[in-house]
Chains A and B, each alone.
Chain A
Amino acid sequence: MESGVGIQHFMILSTLMFFIGVYGFLTRKNLITILLSVELILNSVNINFVAFNKFLYPENLGGHFFAMFVIAVAATEVSVAIAIIISLYRKLKMIDVENVNEMKY
């Protein structure tokens, strides 16, 4: 079993997750789903970190730490983002990203 799952599989998984995330980020209109897509991107990176750590440098834990770090940052990010989304909802009564263009020229 060990021999069956190699680093390639992890990378394929993370690449898929990454591009699904990117696709979601570019196409979804709902801010919450966009946030979910961002989470997908972040977590695809986390998978990469852990996988590379496991396969290339098993003796140290840098990749794991980085993954933990990303998770922590993602958590704060989500909390800030949700706060923004909620206040946007209060203001606009919806969370469609195309209508949130207050920051243009």
Chain B
Amino acid sequence: MENFLYTLIIPVILFFSFIFTGLSGNKFKPAVSGIICTATVFISAALSYWTAYQYFFLHGKVNGVYQIINVYKIEWLKFNETLSIDIGILLDPISVMMMVVITTVSLMVHIYSIGYMKGDSGYSRYFAFLSLFTFAMLGLVLSVNIFMTYMFWELVGISSYLLIGHYYNKPSAVSASKKAFIVTRFADLGFLIGILLLSAFAGTFDFNELTNPNGNAILQSASTTFMGLSAISWALILIFIGCAGKSAMFPLHIWLPDAMEGPTPVSALIHAATMVVAGVYLIARLFPLYVFTSPVALEVVAHVGAFTSLFAAIIACTQTDIKRVLAFSTISQIGYMMVSLGVSGYGAEEGLGYMASMFHLFTHAFFKALLFLGAGSIIHAIHTNEIYSMGNLRKYMPLTHITFLTACLAIAGIPPLSGFFSKDEMLVAVMEKNIFLFAVQYVVAGITAFYMFRLYFTVFWNKDKKYEHVPHESPNVMLITLIFLAVCSALAGLIPFSQFVSSNGVPFSTHIHMNIAIPVVGIALAGILLAYALYKKESLSPEKIKNSLGVFYRSAYRKFYIDEIYIFVTKKIIFNLISVPVAWFDRHVVDNTMNGIAYTTNFVSEKIKYMQSGQLQQYAFIMVAGMILIFLLTLYLIIV
């Protein structure tokens, strides 16, 4: 088998570029760090393409089945004979696919940022953290060991924290970054406990053993039950909580919209294309375990995903901040992927949902990154996020307009753009398994088209708004990336994805299902038409609809008050009802008990010190009395 050892360079080089830029970035001109980081990402990207080529076309298949290749593995921390954290690189179809996605989007974001971040005071810091993030994300997808995944999981969390808080002078950015980290940390606790449970029952952290359908982990799983579910189901549900945190599933989604406080390219990279799909990726990575040991856990995944996709799509229709609309759209699309994973089976055709989910992950990365970068380009031009302060921008920014439109069509699922293919596969998979979930997803497809085109028409059509200065097209370095990503989003769907990725490594072929495709395109077009009617021609008044929906609209606009509930829980309950009393208890009860002992000693001494009166005769009297007492006592004892 071909030696894939060179794949080690892909993540490691980024780590060094982080260290280098982080430590000495301030010593050079800012542009230097930008160029160094971009160059290293470029090398990584080139190497991943080479790896993908080698893996998919030359050496990955044995007897027509894609193999899992452990390129490299060393023991990093050993617990006992069977449990250890290993560091290494694992290649299989999805990890290679993710590697390509990450390095591509990251490269685009790096190039884009050279233009976008120009003149920013934290320029080299920004690039250092971007490198750190890309390194961590690659480590996450290439990990050989679930604990290694957890480590890099935390690392992407921290780099996301650092990048959201890039504008650290802005209090809103600071609190958003804090919120993102703490919410995901809370979810990670679930992940951690899940890993612990898994390790206790499966006896290993190693992915090869965990996900081997004939391995111990799967065969010996159903042993212990707790509250009606097997222990391994609990473990998998807990791991899903971790995934839900990272992938912003309801009710842990609240950090993602706030995370838009970060620079826009960061939102494109982390909060649209790569980090937020880590949850989907992890479930896909552990998929055999889910399928064979715990259908319940998969059902949870599917239903949470479906609810989230609907919920987020509704909210997306009401938001007015361009990045928040996109953020909710991301949440909704990830929900889609979860549903598709959740209904999938194991095998080639059986695992259509798995394949479709990965396919959508792949296409979504491109068009969502494109949407964010397009939004960044607009924000760069007119310095606001409010969509109602934008209008008629197609006149000023033709290229941005065209690429944005491509992405909108792609996400709406209009053929022959990429979103159409992946969405079609997903809906077919869902349709086969669960008609109710299919109905939900079908509606969401329509809503998706509606809110994307609501955004599109409001921003690029209609009348000019008052601009501080005439909006201008972005610099070329940004436009190149937009065009590249637009080409990707347009064409990515044509890749015969099922030939490369499937749940058990066996390639299979798929075709368009007309009975699904036509209604889906139909509802998407209906959504677009509605948006056209409301926001372009204004033959229907959005205001009227808004008013007629009343409470429902307002609560959707306020994101169904989930944030308020969180604030209530954290501020009122955790802070005021637990921490403050704990601190009070510590100072006033525990500490005062200790002080009380000291005070009692002091008090008693104070009282008995008067026995030392300085009166000589009093002392002598007590002494004599004592002597007599002892004498009498002795006498009594002798007599008795």
- The answer on A and B forming one complex is yes
B511 at interface by CB-CB < 8 Å: no
Q: B614 — which chain A residues lie within 8 A by C-beta?
A: 100-105
B624 A22 Cβ-Cβ under 8 A? yes
The answer, among A25, A98, A103, A105, for a CB contact under 8 Å with B620, is A25
Q: Are A105 and B609 in contact (CB under 8 A)?
A: yes
Tell me the complex Cα distance, A97–B613, Å: 12
Q: What sequence of 0s and 1s flags, for each residue 76-105 of chain A, a beta carbon within 8 Å of any chain B beta carbon?
A: 000000000000000000000110111111
Give B580-638 interface residues, CB cut-off 8 Å to A.
609-610, 612-617, 620-621, 624
Q: Is A100 a contact partner of B616 (Cβ separation < 8 A)?
A: yes
Quick check: B615 and A98 within 8 Å, CB to CB?
Answer: yes
Query: Would you call A105 and B617 a contact (CB within 8 A)?
Result: no
A26 within 8 A of B: yes
A28 nearest in chain B by CB position: B617
B615 near A101 (CB under 8 angstroms)? yes
Is the pair A26, B613 in contact by a Cβ cutoff of 8 Å? no
Nearest Cβ distance between residue A37 and chain B, in whole angstroms?
10
Q: Given A22-B624, A26-B621, A26-B624, is A105 in contact with B610 using a C-beta cutoff of 8 Å?
A: yes
How far is it, in angstroms, between the C-alpha of A103 and the C-alpha of B617 when the chains are bound? 13
Cα distance A103–B613 in the bound complex, in angstroms? 8
| B-chain residues with CB within 8 Å of residue A26 when the two chains form the complex | 617, 620-621, 624
- When the two chains form their complex, are residues B617 and A25 in contact, meaning their CB atoms are under 8 A apart? yes
Q: Tell me the B37-55 residues at the A interface (CB within 8 Å).
A: none
CA distance A105 to B613 in the complex (A): 7
CA distance A61 to B620 in the complex (A): 33
A15-29 vs B, CB cutoff 8 Å, 1 = contact: the mask equals 000000010011100
In the bound complex, residues from chain A placing their C-beta under 8 Å from that of B615 are: 97-98, 101, 104
Is A105 in contact with B624, judged by CB distance below 8 angstroms?
A: no
Please name all residues of chain A whose beta carbon is closer than 8 Å to the beta carbon of B609 when the two chains form the complex: 105
In the complex, which residues of chain A have a beta carbon less than 8 angstroms from the beta carbon of B621?
26
Chain A residues within an 8 Å CB radius of B610: 105
Instruction: Collect the chain B residues with CB atoms within 8 Å of residue A22's CB.
Output: 624
Q: Are A97 and B624 in contact (CB under 8 A)?
A: no
Docked pose: A97 CA to B610 CA in angstroms: 18
User: In the complex, how many angstroms separate the beta carbon of A57 from the nearest chain B beta carbon?
Assistant: 26
Contacts of A101 in B (CB 8 A): 613-615
CA distance in complex: A22, B627 (Å)? 12
CA distance A100 to B617 in the complex (A): 11
Closest A residue to B610 by beta carbon equals A105
Identify 15 residue pairs between A and B in the complex whose beta-carbon atoms are under 8 Å apart, listed by A's number.
A25-B617, A25-B620, A26-B621, A26-B624, A34-B616, A97-B615, A97-B617, A98-B617, A101-B615, A102-B614, A104-B612, A104-B613, A104-B614, A105-B609, A105-B614
Closest 9 A/B residue pairs (Cβ): A104-B614, A101-B614, A105-B609, A105-B612, A103-B614, A104-B613, A26-B621, A26-B617, A101-B615
Apart from A102-B614, A104-B612, what 15 extra A-B contacts exist at CB < 8 Å?
A: A25-B617, A25-B620, A26-B624, A27-B617, A34-B616, A97-B617, A101-B613, A101-B614, A101-B615, A104-B613, A105-B609, A105-B610, A105-B612, A105-B613, A105-B614
